[in-house]
A and B are shown apart, each in its own frame.
Chain A
């Protein structure tokens, strides 16, 4: 009886044990698969986040009506309109000198101001004089010039922002002290106020006479120039003055443009004239930066011209960008104070938002059913105000955060202002507001691959030969020292390598360039010499060296080649290269030697890559079964033949994977390229100048990139590309490595 119970107890114990094992098995299975899925998930999450941050770069611009109201002042023509930087207050300048400030949200009148006009004096023309604030000038039918500023400054009342509108009269003067153009109707009028506070006016009267007036603020002197003689009989149809007041462009009915230099206040010179179009130039304006000229014609053409340096060092305007044409004559062009955007409006009130650099017309729509009298960007270019002859005021929101990052701009050549031709340029930040960010990723991709190329050139042969030597030839004792030593190199923090390369090796290499260049040559020569010497040692003595130590025989010769390089370099440099090879290279070969260059980076990056390639390929070389090498030896193959014909093919999969992993490491490596190159985003394969890699670029620019700005998103795109590259390389490595293994490594 008791025995029976015992047996049952035992059995139940066993089944309990089994159940427990099963349960543990299940739990372990769940944890392991959770881990696996977790890794896949987090990588996917990273990828999705990168995409999420980068994708807004591709969003197209949009303009939406935001507020609309009627000023109920239909009798008075609206001469100018503008907004404050928060798009909360707008102002209108009426023909009779009244300036009304309205609330954007409900159209309520906030304040009424008045320009100091005499009784029945009327404004003929008005123009804004600055891109950074709402300074404008008007010309009246009494030939008076009034300069005023519509100030809309924020006042923080109990943490609530209130915009306080206010009009400041800056100056009042007469058109001219000469009576000539007095009481004449003004047809075209342009005004600019530069950073020094100097005022520039240009106008054309109804007799087609062109005048320029300048006020020099420091000396308080007016300059007046009549350009009647300089303009021929052709009707002037448009005017533009640069923001800095250095150039005046005159557009003519014939489609010709005149370029006047007005930087010398005493004398206005015609710098150049050229034909821009077959139709009349009906609207022109300078884009921010005072360099690029946007123009529209009566045929509806919209173009941007830059001055390009000619052979004899003059500048000539050239047509660089063309945009979508309007269906009717372009009546007005005005520019953004933020970027290279500009608006063109035609006579049928169709409005186009154009972005100069990319030659793109981003938005085109009919802005009003009535004739538009004036329009303007808001200070941050995130809104437009448009007034028509029925005194309707429309305010439009402009969604155009990243106009400069089209696929073309990111990956193609772009013709930027100040360049002689389209180029790949990365230049994300500049000193001034006028600076245009240039986001071509090609120089960064190029840099990454250039660094990788030099690193691989240095590390692949070195690592492979080391792996072959250690796995096939080295005596066990030697292998036991070399292998862990190289593997420990992998643990070296890359910041240390980068630091050494940037601060120690770069100056060292520069100072001893001749020696550095000589060493590889001498090593090869000395290696051959050592082989020759080895062969001439009688066989009997040679046999005494253990197998594999024969290669160690090369070591003294390597030392000799180092010493020789150091010794000979001075003499060579003195006699062949005029005493300084860096100088000589620059003068004779035109090669510029940067201290932190690709040569140094290849060397430093190689240090990071060598251990990876070495370790993995050494493993796969060692894994080639001895039965294969024995068979090869038994067939009379020499050790080297055995390595080349049997061992290398059999280990090809592993070696390939090793090289690809090294490649992946080199592509993603940041600290070394950051510290050992000058991070100059140039595209030049020369080993003697630097580059900027994608990874380093991200590291360098992160502090400069405001969240959600274009640069910020472009950096995410760079990261995404980097991710894609390493992903692609690793996938290809896995795929091809697998194939090679299946083909050759069947043992």
Chain B
């Protein structure tokens, strides 16, 4: 299944992207969990600023792996090997002068399974600002409120900020995790299937939240739900077995994709 890398991004999209400000760019990115097994192969992708970019593809194709590269979460995995370059705002994030903590502050992340800390709601949101050096309670209070408002959670929790975050519902917990990521005032938010464990109503709320954030943040979202990708994203990347098959503007990708593989996937012939 040879895929012509240079043509993963269609000509029209390339010209479209020329008008955009590229925030994340990978150059021939390959990743090996073990020396024999590559999870990403020569991925070249360009993610534009203040747009929602969705990653789709069959299970195990490397969407999460690619996403986790953008804030170097993969570094935590022992024995991993990464080749190629990842540029954020034109700077290779593996350059020695890049501070890992600072990178992660700028590139926030929301996980598939909500993972609030076993602390109060307030403490959860305040965690990021605190570890990044903020100590003024009033400033943090402001950030907490603002983040919760952005994540559409403020109204529901403003009376119970001191209660345990674990007492919230699943959907609320996930929005709390979004608010927690927002509290760091990141430029980029990475979301790995943020709604996959939620009911349709909660999913709807998350989508609304993403919609509200799209103007201020660069959002990269992994999803299995193609309708969701179609609904919320501006650009979509389709991946298979560690390779980027097609990167296109969402509309085009779902209506008349460049690649036959993409068409087969979105019409449900495999996956």
Contacts and interface: CB of A to CB of B under 8 A. Distances in A.
Interface stretch (B23-31, B105-113, B213-221, B263-271): B105-113
A636 B128 CA distance: 7
Contact of B118 (A539, A540, A649): A649
A746 B120 CA distance: 12
Contacts of B184: 635-636
Contact of B113 (A627, A650, A746): A627
B117 A636 contact: no
Contact of A540 (B76, B96, B177): B96
B104 interface: yes
B104 A634 contact: yes
Nearest to B132: A636
Nearest to A540: B96
A628 B117 contact: yes
A577 interface: no
A631 B131 contact: no
Contact of B127 (A543, A645, A746): A645
Contacts of B104: 633-636
B118 A638 contact: no
Nearest to B98: A539
A625 B115 CA distance: 10
A746 B118 contact: yes
A543 B180 CA distance: 30
A280 B130 CA distance: 82
Nearest to B123: A645
A641 B76 CA distance: 16
B118 A745 contact: yes
Contacts of A637: 101, 127-128, 131
Interface in A521-576: 538-540, 543, 546-547
B118 A634 contact: no
B172 interface: no
Contact of B115 (A475, A476, A538, A628): A628
Contacts of A628: 115, 117-118
A636 B98 CA distance: 13
B118 A635 contact: no
Nearest to B107: A634
A632 interface: yes
A265 interface: no
A646 B97 CA distance: 27
B96 A743 contact: no
B165 to A, nearest CB: 10
A631 B115 CA distance: 7
Nearest to B105: A636
Given A540-B96, A746-B164, A634 B131 contact: no
A455 B30 CA distance: 52
Contacts of A745: 118
A499 interface: no
Contacts of A638: 101, 131
B166 to A, nearest CB: 5
Interface string B116-147: 01110000000110111000000000000000
B111 A630 contact: yes
Contacts of B180: 631, 635
Interface string A624-664: 01011011111111100100011001100000000000000
B197 interface: no
B177 A631 contact: yes
B73 A635 contact: no
Interface in B168-193: 177, 180-181, 184
Contacts of A631: 111, 115, 117, 177, 180
Contacts of A630: 73, 76, 111, 115
A747 interface: yes
A357 B152 CA distance: 77
Given A627-B111, A627-B113, A746-B164, A636 B76 contact: no
A744 interface: yes
Given A476-B78, A638-B131, A633 B108 contact: no
B102 interface: yes
A637 B130 CA distance: 9
Contacts of B127: 632, 635, 637, 645
Contact of A636 (B75, B96, B101, B118): B101
A552 to B, nearest CB: 15
A503 to B, nearest CB: 45
Interface string B150-175: 00000000000000101000000000
B131 A645 contact: yes
B64 interface: no
B71 interface: yes
A634 B71 contact: yes
Contacts of B101: 636-638
A747 B164 CA distance: 12
Given A627-B115, A743-B118, A746-B164, A634 B73 contact: yes
A563 B118 CA distance: 46
A633 B76 contact: yes
Nearest to A543: B96
Nearest to B180: A635
Interface in A457-490: 475-476
Interface string B206-234: 00000000000000000000000000000
Contact of A547 (B71, B78, B131): B78
Contacts of B164: 746
Nearest to A631: B115
Nearest to A644: B131
A539 B73 CA distance: 18
Contacts of A746: 118, 164, 166
A625 B104 CA distance: 20
A492 B97 CA distance: 49
A338 to B, nearest CB: 65
A702 to B, nearest CB: 50
Nearest to A476: B78
A245 to B, nearest CB: 80
B111 to A, nearest CB: 7
B28 to A, nearest CB: 20
A631 B108 CA distance: 10
Contacts of B118: 628, 649-650, 743-747
Instruction: Kindly name the residue among A627, A635, A747 whose own CB sees the greatest number of chain B CB atoms within 10 A.
Output: A635
Interface string A130-159: 000000000000000000000000000000
Contacts of A641: 131
Nearest to B109: A634
Contacts of B113: 627
Contacts of A743: 118
Given A546-B78, A630-B76, A645-B131, A636 B102 contact: yes
A650 B181 CA distance: 21
Contacts of B111: 627, 630-631, 634
27 contacts: A539-B96, A539-B97, A546-B78, A547-B75, A628-B118, A630-B76, A630-B111, A630-B115, A631-B180, A632-B117, A633-B76, A633-B104, A634-B73, A634-B108, A634-B111, A634-B181, A635-B104, A635-B105, A635-B127, A636-B101, A636-B184, A637-B127, A638-B101, A645-B130, A649-B118, A650-B118, A743-B118
Given A630-B111, A635-B127, A636-B101, 16 more contacts: A539-B97, A627-B115, A631-B111, A631-B115, A631-B180, A634-B104, A634-B111, A635-B104, A635-B105, A635-B128, A635-B180, A636-B102, A636-B105, A637-B127, A638-B101, A650-B118
Interface of A: 475-476, 538-540, 543, 546-547, 625, 627-628, 630-638, 641, 645-646, 649-650, 743-747
